[in-house]
Chains A and B, each alone.
Chain A
Amino acid sequence: MSARAWACAGLVVVVAIVLTIVLWPRSATPSTSARVESIASELRCPDCESQSIAQSSTPTARAARADIRRRIEAGQSDADIRQAYIDKFGESILWKPESGGIGILVWGLPVAALILGGAGLAFALARWRREPRLHATDADERLVEQQRAAE
């Protein structure tokens, strides 16, 4: 077996492993506790700084975790629960802004700025490459002619 064949076989094995990991069906639906933890970690603690409801130990955060559990047990989806918290506390309760409505600006503006900046940079680079930065003046040309004539 040639080295190339070995390399191809190795590549196929690596791709197969990666696909298996990515596409392997996830184990059963997450437990209630896991969902409480997941949702609580997406929500800011209403009455403390820089902590999620999952991290905080304030009475309000504890009440919120209990409320999330009750809502899950009542059959609400994660999206329903998040919306209930937005309705109660406003969108600032979310750690990450929503990807719809006004929140799209928060996500979209940096991307738009990046695209515009990249396009501008590419345009400028192409322009610089096309145009030589130094131009010979008439005096330069005369100097070169004189030098050549002297040789």
Chain B
Amino acid sequence: MRHRVRWIALSAAVIVAALAVVLALQVGDDPRADASRSQLTGTIAPSFDLPTLDGTSVRSADLRGKVVLVNFWNSWCAPCQEEHPALVEFFERHADEPGFAMVGIVRHDTREAIRSFVDEEGVPYTVAFDPGSRAAFDYGTRGQPETYALAPDGVIEASKIGPSSLGQLEQMYRVAKGSA
């Protein structure tokens, strides 16, 4: 009788251990387990045609052939404010490169608030609005800031959910540029 109890307990332990191993292997292999990257990394970036703060428009199709950094942001999010100096410095380092473009897409904010932020803090790259949040949705954003580095062929080569440091921005840029 005692042996039978031991065998049952041992069998239960083996089953639980096997399930734990399967779970660990599956989670470890799943690229989606990395919550700091977008699910869309490695796929063709969604297209957009958005009005800009300066009254023109920016179309993703016109940016093909360039490495493009797309940053979703707004004026009221603290992590966006934290990230802002790194974005500005990154842009100023690469602004003169002909194969580079950078777009800050406003996510859930008003034109007035953005205008005020730009006047006070300075945003030297293109600022675009996203009426209906279509671009934010198409990129699968869950919040802001989120940054996407697009290769010249339009593939999202790198992404960062949450604020990026200057080093991380440079790394994403290198990855997107290197894939050309």
Count residues on chain B whose CB falls below 8 Å from chain A CBs.
Answer: 24
| CB-based contact B15/A112 at 8 Å | yes
| CB-based contact B133/A59 at 8 Å | yes
| CB-based contact A67/B137 at 8 Å | yes
Q: Does B143 have its Cβ within 8 Å of any Cβ on chain A? A: yes
Q: Which residue of B lies closest to A108 (CB)?
A: B19
Q: For the complex, give the distance between the alpha carbons of A66 and B12 in Å.
A: 48
Q: Does A136 have its Cβ within 8 Å of any Cβ on chain B? A: no
For chains A and B in complex, what number of residue pairs have CB atoms within 8 angstroms?
57
Given contacts A63-B134, A88-B40, A120-B8, contact A58 B108 (CB under 8 A): yes
| CB-based contact A60/B15 at 8 Å | no
| CB-based contact A91/B141 at 8 Å | no
Select one of B23, B132, B140 contacting A46, CB under 8 A.
B140
Q: Does B1 have its Cβ within 8 Å of any Cβ on chain A? A: yes
Q: Does A64 have its Cβ within 8 Å of any Cβ on chain B? A: yes
Select one of B15, B30, B134, B141 contacting A102, CB under 8 A.
B30
Given contacts A59-B133, A63-B133, A109-B19, contact A46 B1 (CB under 8 A): no
| CB-based contact A123/B8 at 8 Å | yes
Q: For the complex, give the distance between the alpha carbons of A73 and B20 in Å.
A: 42
Select one of A47, A101, A116, A127 contacting B142, CB under 8 A.
A47
Q: Does A151 have its Cβ within 8 Å of any Cβ on chain B? A: no
Q: Does A25 have its Cβ within 8 Å of any Cβ on chain B? A: no
Count residues on chain A whose CB falls below 8 Å from chain B CBs.
Answer: 25
Given contacts A60-B141, A89-B142, A105-B22, contact A116 B12 (CB under 8 A): yes
Within 8 A of A (CB), among B92-136: 108, 132-134, 136
Q: Which residue of A lies closest to B135 (CB)?
A: A63
Q: Does A87 have its Cβ within 8 Å of any Cβ on chain B? A: yes
- B1-15: CB near A (< 8 Å → 1, else 0) gives 100010010001001
| CB-based contact A63/B19 at 8 Å | no
Across-interface contacts of B30 in A (CB, < 8 A) = 102
Within 8 A of A (CB), among B131-155: 132-134, 136-137, 140-143
- Listed residue (A47, A58, A67, A127) with the most chain B CB atoms within 10 angstroms of its CB: A47
- Name A's B-contacting residues (CB within 8 A): 46-47, 58-60, 62-64, 66-67, 87-91, 101-102, 105, 109, 112, 116, 119-120, 123, 127
- Name B's A-contacting residues (CB within 8 A): 1, 5, 8, 12, 15, 19, 22-23, 26-27, 30, 32, 39-40, 108, 132-134, 136-137, 140-143
The 6 A-B pairs with the shortest beta carbon distances in the complex, nearest first, are: A59-B133, A63-B137, A88-B140, A90-B32, A102-B26, A63-B133
